[in-house]
Structure 1
């Protein structure tokens, strides 16, 4: 169960329920227009609440999370969103051609970690260093670099500071890359296992064909 569907489906179900309850109350039960509206809103609200409980329960069960765990993860992911926007804005505005690929790679990796943990909340536990430390560092360094680079006059000390910030961002880029690999570690392990199984199957078939060919001779 996708989190988006868990949020949207109860609304989609509640809207026609509002209309249905209102029509039944007004035409079949001979209630006043005002009471029919009240009944329809209550019926729609109750439908939305029950639907939300059901689909949220399915979502949490699928991802093996308690409601408390999910609220904790959701809070951290929501707090990260404006930071990601800030670091992306800062990195894009940097005018330094030789570090362009490094900066675009960092943006891609940050957004990938965010999208993966938002889609599959349990991955958050593998990305905790990213959310608690590395994202903040990237945001602060990128904004500091932009601020220094925008100064009209640059002396040796300022140029040295810009150079050191670029080096630190390069190191941080490698750290965030490791964060992404950690988030994907289970997928990589599964893929490697499947590759080993596939190789073993191919090898077994080859050996079987060789044995069969020897028997025919």
Structure 2
């Protein structure tokens, strides 16, 4: 586990030295959080986002994660005293709602991952990359663990971002859908061969005078 990019990168960014060996099955969630936090640090250092903006989590949630799951020096580099809580837009709210509707009952970790995944889905690259994961297999494992019914419904092995937007559009009565946040992706043509507008684009068009 410690040779995976996000885990190693977070350790290097924080100059904490090598991470201790961990049990892969028991600590996969912590590994994913390390990957997400490494991506957040990249955006913070580049001046692109704050810690809350990068993760979709509140200051309290981030402080709790950092203080309970990571070495003590970690919390300081995220500058939580300087940030405000994120304000999700309509699209992010829909994505959160989709994930939360399928989250494991009573599991605070699933709630937090719903917020993280919804926020990172809005980024332009493949979702597993935006989460800092090693590959799509790890993303599938995360979703199967925390949102089992939703993950099980992806019987055609769609790209996960495409699958989320397809589920949202189906709920609105649209049968064809492309993810707006994928428009700048280099693999857009292969990922979305169909014609069609997303329900979000349709809504925006209807609201224009």
Instruction: Normalising by structure 2, report the TM-score.
Output: 0.30
Q: Which has the larger radius of gyration?
A: 1
More helix by share: 1
